Amino acid sequence: AQTVTQSQPEMSVQEAETVTLSCTYDTSESDYYLFWYKQPPSRQMILVIRQEAYKQQNATENRFSVNFQKAAKSFSLKISDSQLGDAAMYFCAYSPSGAGSYQLTFGKGTKLSVIP
Amino acid sequence: EAGVTQFPSHSVIEKGQTVTLRCDPISGHDNLYWYRRVMGKEIKFLLHFVKESKQDESGMPNNRFLAERTGGTYSTLKVQPAELEDSGVYFCASSHWTGFNNEQFFGPGTRLTVL
């Protein structure tokens, strides 16, 4: 079974600085999808960024980028120029790519605080 | 476009009672997922509907949980009878596509407390 591990329960970053959230996963599949979701306090979870495993190029979405290391099964999220609105729970998630349900397997989450 | 909505937002019931959670997906989304987060643990998959059919219900914990999606629109998740370990936040998500475009849009969740 696939597992996703987020080893940092809590992180903090100074406003305008850069922070990296860690995520490792375990799978025997060669192709799959990886996601980072963000859940602000008392708000819905939203997709931040996604990566397809067969693509070596790291995904980037504005201030958010990933460092995808397939051999190491690592998928870290880098947030540049952190803003107060980035404060949230961040969940790393895995999804299989073959035919099936595409259920997401989540890590426990990392609570990010942004210090003004 | 309205997002995924869930009702109620909170529910407090006693052990042995029945509770029904409702999820309204984004209009036109054939895929509907239920997840659950128990305190301090990961968000866990419960089941996946494609339209009105159950595509995958491998995450359903036991037969006290019954999910339905009549007509392929909204879905309900009934817990009967509720046990203490059923407490947690129940999330619903919907998506139009699967695969890489499987961006699942999540609802705000229903916080269930079983006393």
State the CATH class of domain B5-114: mainly beta
Alpha carbons A82 and A63: distance in angstroms, whole number:
8
Residue B100 confidence class, pLDDT cut points 50, 70, 90 = low
Length of chain A as a residue count: 116
All domains in chain A, ordered by first residue:
3-115 (2.60.40.10)
- The C-alpha angle A106, A111, A116, rounded to 5 degrees, equals 150
Give exposure, B45-80, as e/b (b: 16+ Cβ within 10 Å): bbbbbeeeeebbeebbeeeebebebeeeebbebebe
Tens digit of each residue's pLDDT (9 = 90 or more) over A78-95: 999 999 999 999 999 999
CA gap A22, A37 in Å, rounded: 13
Task: Please report, for chain B, the start and end positions of each structural domain, with discontinuous segments joined by +.
Answer: 5-114
pLDDT > 70: percent of chain B: 95
How far apart CA B3 and CA A52 sit, in angstroms, is 25
Query: What are the tens digits of pLDDT across the range A51-70?
Result: 988 888 999 999 999 999 99
Contacts of B84 (CB under 8 A, 6+ apart): B15, B114, B115
What is the mean pLDDT of the segment spanning A40-45? 88
Q: Residue B101's pLDDT is what? A: 64
How far apart (Å, rounded) are the C-alpha atoms in residues B54 and B31? Answer: 10
Measured between beta carbons, the chain A residues lying within 8 angstroms of B53 are: none
**Cross-chain Cβ contact B42/A104 below 8 Å:** no
Of residues A101 and A108, which shows the higher confidence score? Answer: A108
Q: Are A31 and A97 in contact (CB under 8 A)?
A: yes
Is the dihedral angle over the CA atoms A7, A103, A113, A72 positive or is it negative?
A: positive
Give the pLDDT confidence score for residue A88 in this predicted structure: 97
Q: Please give the pLDDT value at position B96.
A: 84
pLDDT at A33 over 70: yes
Distance CA B10, CA A90 (A): 23
Does A103 reach chain B within 8 Å, measured CB to CB?
yes
Start-to-end Cα distance in chain A: 41
Q: Is B86 left (phi over 0), alpha (psi -120 to 50) or beta?
A: alpha
Tokens representing B112? Answer: 């269930």
Cβ contacts of A82 within 8 Å, gap of 6 or more: A13, A14, A15, A16, A17, A18, A19, A63, A114
For residue A25, what is the enclosing H or E element? strand A24-26
- B45, B108, B109 ranked by CB distance to A104: nearest: B45
Query: Taking 70 as the threshold, does the pLDDT of residue A100 lie above it?
Result: no
DSSP-derived letter for residue B3 is -
- Reply yes or no on whether the pLDDT at A23 is more than 90: yes
Measured between beta carbons, the chain B residues lying within 8 angstroms of A95 are 102
Cβ-defined contact of B48 to A103 (cutoff 8 Å):
yes
Spatial distance between the Cα atoms of A64 and A62, rounded to a whole number of angstroms: 6
